[in-house]
A = this chain, B = another copy of it.
Amino acid sequence: MYIKGVNLGNWLVLEKWMSPALFAGTTAEDEYYLPRQLSKEVYEARIQMHRAEYISERDFVTIKSMGMEVIRIPVPYFIFGDREPFIGCIKELDKAFAWAEKYGLQILIDLHTAPMGQNGFDNGGICGVCRWAQCPDEVEFTLTVLERLSERYGDRKGLWGIEVINEPLTEAAWESFDITKRYPAVDPEMAKGTAPISMAFLREFYKKAYARMRAHLAPEKYVVIHDGFDLMAWKDFMQEDEYQNVVLDTHQYLMMAEMDGCPQTVEGYVEYVQTKYAKMIEEMEQYFPVVCGEWCLFNSLACGCDTKGGQSVLNGMEGTAQESFSPEQKKEIYQAVANAQLDAWKKGSGYFYWSYKLLVDTVNEPGWIGWDSWDLGRCVDFGWFPTNR
């Protein structure tokens, strides 16, 4: 198996930096606080317009023309519309399945958020809160969401698999992400007790989820588990025959490599990718099909400034005021890191670029130069991303 894929980030799970207009006039930094700062009518109008216009049938045609095969679609825990004040989006996912099936694509449904937070990231739905694993009712609710998704789409031709939960933050990465500082909680009371998710809990949760999902999923559909930012920790997990078609998902961003000391040069990136990513994936591929479910070309070198782990103007960073490289030089940098990373993913079973589309304006909004490399559409159109391999 080798899968070429892309994420539909920011469509059904919001990220402020990817479409600032949704958050205009509010101080909300995440999806949790957006409906709490807007009237019901305005919230609904913004969400419905965003869902209708951000992604449509034409994007599936484009994704197919890029040579991609599987689309990873992040969905929120409130997808079924049973968690006020959020608005469900199962109809959008239904439409996506019809588009995928028409154009010969498949979908990896990625449960991207959990109530009370599984990582405390903005993209986990609520900044600075990581308490989901401590709330048995919410854990059970999450399992029912996975069950319902499995039941609804389990036999669909357009289903590639379902990912249990995105980026549960375990001890291994807790300190480097520095959640409480980088994503301060709005309500300290709600964040009280925020802590990494234990590997013991996560293993147990994955097993429960597998059993309840597999009951509805056709045997060939994949159950995808995220590595919790600890790729090498899963060698003794789910190796028994009862677990079939389980895929291990690891997310590898160059901005994380930079935090790990990778030099901000083309040679530095390439060597890091070859000696770390490629080696780890090669080793883990003995135990699971391993996909890199999130990655991109973004790096501080091409940005022209040290982003300190991918921090933007939204985090109070300045960014750069003008391009540091000519278009040709940028193309060389991006092609080099693209090829190195694609080589590394080849040691495993595939990849999903993050992300298909984002609305960052590098021209009219100071500080965003370089952030267009998160956008696969732009990477392809600029010739940064090789679609022929």
Contacts and interface: CB of A to CB of B under 8 A. Distances in A.
Contacts of A30: none
Contacts of A377: 58, 61-62
Interface stretch (A38-46, A76-84, A138-146, A235-243): A38-46
A359 B61 contact: no
Interface string A333-361: 00000000000000000000000011111
B41 A24 contact: no
Given A58-B357, A99-B363, A21 B39 contact: no
B53 A53 contact: yes
Contacts of A358: 58
Q: Is the interface of A mostly helix, strand, loop or mixed?
A: helix
Nearest to A48: B21
A357 B94 CA distance: 22
Contacts of A363: 57, 95, 98-99, 102
Contact of A58 (B57, B102, B359): B359
A361 B41 CA distance: 25
A58 B378 CA distance: 6
A376 B54 CA distance: 17
Contact of A41 (B39, B53, B372): B39
Interface in A45-104: 45-46, 48-50, 52-54, 56-58, 61-62, 64-65, 94-95, 98-99, 102
Given A21-B48, A381-B61, A381-B64, A53 B54 contact: yes
A280 B98 CA distance: 44
Given A39-B41, A48-B21, A61-B382, A56 B361 contact: yes
A22 interface: yes
A58 B19 contact: no
Contacts of A45: 41-42, 45-46, 49
A66 B54 CA distance: 21
A49 B51 CA distance: 10
Contacts of A52: 19-21, 359
Q: Closest 10 interchain pairs by CB?
A: A21-B52, A45-B45, A49-B49, A65-B381, A53-B53, A61-B381, A42-B45, A98-B363, A56-B359, A95-B364
